[in-house]
Amino acid sequence: MADSDPKIRQLLGELRDVDKNRRRTAVMKLGMIGGDEAVRALIQTVKNDHEDLIVRGRAALMLGKIGNAQAVDPLIKALDAPGFQTPLFAAQALGELGDIRAVGPLQAALNTNSDKLREAALNALKRLGHDPYNMPNAFSEYLEAEGDLDLDLER
């Protein structure tokens, strides 16, 4: 479906509804449809500190399903969001997106008090092909991907 589709416009309207259950459903439907407009709306939802925690969590989950790299930075920030669903689904989504920028933040999430978030971060790191117990290599690769460090690991 194209971004100008009436169904997407309807879902974007539902995303602004006062009824959190309608917003919860809207984020799931937007994630199933995908497209640039849906990605932008889901990113804004994840970033909205005043949004219902379940709505934010589902938006993070759906960003992983869509697979758009624009979601990486907002999902990294969502690892520190309140509640448990948003950080949990953000970690899962980062594993699905497969972007190396997530390695360092996912490593940091291993130190959380939440067993579920630690497990999600561990699984995401495994999906990214990183040994979570080999922090120096994973961290240096993260810094290199960010452009903060230029390492020749073949030396």
Q: 27 CB contacts (<8 Å, ≥6 apart)?
A: 15, 42, 45, 55, 58, 59, 62
Question: Are 35 and 2 spatial neighbours (Cβ–Cβ below 8 Å)?
Answer: yes
Query: At 121, which amino acid appears?
Result: A
Contact 89, 57 (CB under 8 A): yes
Read off the pTM: 0.80
CA-wise closest residue to 19 among 60, 59, 63, 55: 55
Q: Give the tokens for residue 16.
A: 């602004």
User: pLDDT per residue over 7-33, tens digit each?
Assistant: 999 999 999 999 999 999 999 999 999
User: Structural domains in the chain?
Assistant: 6-146 (1.25.10.10)
